[in-house]
Structure 1
Amino acid sequence: MTSQIYIVFILTFTIFLIGTLAYSARVVGVKTGRIAVAAAVFNVFVLIQRTASTIQAPLLGKAVDNSISTGQTSDLLYVFRWIIFSITLATITGAILMPTFIKIFNKLVVSFSVYRSVPKLVFHAFSKSGIEQFKNSISIPKKENLYELRNFKKIPKKVVLLNMIAFSVSSISVLAALYAACLSPNLRTTCTTLSSVINSVSTIFMVIFIDPYLSMTTDDVIRGDCTELEFNRCVIFIIVGLIVGSILAQFMLIPASKLIVIIAKLI
């Protein structure tokens, strides 16, 4: 593997780690009652995520071009499977870091109300007191939270399932399109542009089914119609669904690539 591929691994890990930790922003918003502030502060992490995505795309494209020119598409499939594994590793790491990140993010939200400036907040985070607060916030998932996985009451099973499928699709949308370009080099441009079409499927699931439910549940907690325990249980199941979805993506990669080739030929 080249150094570019290792950079792709790191970028992919960063992108999906932040994506997993995004759910903690909702938890902190519920705990502090400052949902808008929590979203604003988390945008700093979203900026890092989007920057990583911008760098990742051309590196992956370069890997595909090299594979097509050398005729070593099997090596590319091997690399792609490792990239998907980095997604699984990122979601698991995000789940483990969730308690720590919730504490840190909670302090960032409270501090933002004091500094009212993102640059000042970032400066405070890297100050001596900020680093000390970070050390004091380190914690591991509690057994009580893991026990919640045995309680299926009031869990939106359809939402969790749809979120798992949407995450699987979004995880391989770009990879499947790039591998399809290797399977059908004469339709390389068409295959790669179809990644946005594939990714739109997961976006539809998120916009129509998942985000509205989480938003309504968040409002229910604020109004007192839903307990924090029930909300946290829902988040736990959704994160577990992300882990399962990333594993499912390994099995979807080749079928999705072949489907993209078929669609490219029909267009």
Structure 2
Amino acid sequence: MTTQITIVLILTLLINLITTLSYAVRIVGVRTGRIAITFSLFNILVLLSRTANTLQAPLLAKTVEQDLKVHVASNVAVFRYIILSCTIGSVLGALLIPTFQRLLSRAVMHFSVHKSIPRLFYLGLSGAGMQFMKENLKMPSREHLATLADQGSFPWRIFLYNLLATAIITIAVLSCVYAAYLNPEYRTTASNLSGVINGGATVLMALFIDPHLSILTDDVVLGKITESSFRKYISNMVLARIAGTLLAQLLFFPCAQLIAVLAEKV
């Protein structure tokens, strides 16, 4: 495995880990009562994720270009590994959510008092900050996992939407890049179709998933539902995300074939 692919795998894992941790942000906002500050601080990690995302696609595209120059007809195993790294990153993110909730809650309360990002970074990297991280490492409890199935009023339609949107977002760039193997003459057109594929998933999230999560967040703040029920809801959405990365394995190659055809027709 080349250095480029190794970097892509690491970046993909990081992107999916941060995206999965984003589900914990609403819980922290509800707990601290400072939703705006919570999202503002998390956006620092989002910047890291977006930077990794901008590096991922060019590195992968360069690998495909190099393969085509030496007449490699297919390299599907690499793409399967990349999708697998999405799953691993999502699972790691899910396992780190309890720890991340504690760390982000501490960061929110510290920033609320001192109102300084540099000072917040200094605290996090100090000996006391490292000790706090060590003391607050926590895995999801068995009791919480055991209650996930008890979701009588859980909107499974939203679960399916999140599963499908995650699968589409996972393979959007990958299928478009892989389509270059299937139709090399139109590989530039194929790569540019990733925005169209991602757009469909973005619309799905913007119209159905995000508004529903926002309503639930407000309901917790207003006391209409309990924080425990909200946490179980978020946990199910995390499971939907993990399942979506697994579904992406099935959709990847058919989607690449479709894009290879569309690239020639548009």
TM over 0.5: yes
Which residues in structure 2 correspond to 1:85-96 (within 5 Å)? Answer: 85-96=84-95
CA distance in 1, matches of 2:38, 2:73: 44
Deviations 1:195-253 (A, max 9, x none): 01001011001100000000010000000111111111110100011111101100101
Q: Is the 8 A contact 2:37 2:108 kept in 1?
A: yes
Aligned 1:181-220 pairs, distance under 5 A: 181-220=180-219
Show the counterpart of 2:80: 81
Question: Are positions 1:24 and 2:24 aligned together?
Answer: yes
Distance 1:55 1:238, change over 3 A: same
Partner Cα separation in structure 1 for residue 144 and residue 70 of structure 2: 50
Alignment-derived partner of residue 242 in structure 2 = 243
In 2, Cα distance between equivalents of 1:122 and 1:27: 22
Gaps of at least 5 residues in structure 2 are none
Q: Distance in 1 between matches of 2:12 and 2:3?
A: 14
Number of the residue aligned with 2:229: 230
Q: Which position in structure 2 is the counterpart of 1:104? A: 103
Whether the 8 Å CA contact 2:30–2:217 is kept in 1: the answer is yes
Distance 1:63 1:247 in 2: 24
TM-superposed CA distance for 1:31, in Å, is: 0.9
Q: What is the Cα deviation at residue 129 of structure 1?
A: 1.2
- Between 208-217 and 152-161, the greater mean CA deviation after superposition: 152-161
Match of 2:13 in 1: 13
Calculate the TM-score normalised by the size of structure 2.
0.98
Question: 1:50: which partner in 2?
Answer: 50
- Report the aligned-residue RMSD: 0.9
Q: Which amino acid aligns with 1:217?
A: L
Could you list the runs of 5+ residues in structure 1 that have no partner in the other structure? Answer: none
Q: Which amino acid in structure 2 is aligned with residue 184 of structure 1?
A: N
Partner of 1:60: 60
Q: 1:157 offset after TM fit, Å?
A: 0.5
Residues 147-180 of structure 1: CA distance to partner in whole angstroms, max 9, x if unpaired? 1222121211111110010000000000000011
CA distance in 2, matches of 1:129, 1:239: 31
Instruction: Provide the rounded CA distance (Å) in 2 between the counterparts of 1:156 and 1:126.
Output: 41
Conserved in 1, the CA contact under 8 Å of 2:18 and 2:45?
A: yes
Counterparts of 2:103 and 2:150 in 1: how far apart (Å)? 28
Aligned counterpart, 1:163: 162
Distance in 1 separating the partners of 2:258 and 2:178: 11
Q: Which amino acid aligns with 1:231?
A: F
Give, in angstroms, the shift of residue 42 of structure 1: 0.2
- What is the alpha-carbon distance in structure 2 between the residues aligned to residue 209 and residue 73 of structure 1? 40
Structure 1: how far apart are the matches of 2:142 and 2:158?
A: 25
**Cα displacement string for residues 83-129 of structure 1 (whole angstroms, at most 9, x for unaligned residues):** 00000001111111111111111111111112212222111110111
Query: Do 1:95 and 1:239's aligned partners in 2 also have CA atoms closer than 8 Å?
Result: yes
* Cα distance change on mapping 1:138 and 1:185 into 2, 3 Å: same
Name segments (4+ residues, structure 1) moved above 2 Å. none
Is the contact between residue 74 and residue 181 of structure 2 (CA under 8 Å) also seen in structure 1?
no
User: Percent of counterpart pairs with the same letter?
Assistant: 42
CA-CA distance at 1:35 after TM superposition: 0.5
1:116 maps to 115
1:125 corresponds to which residue?
A: 124
Aligned length: 266
Kept after mapping to 1: 8 A contact 2:172/2:197: yes
1:67-95 per-residue CA deviation (whole Å, 9 max, x = no partner) reads 211222422x1100000000000111111
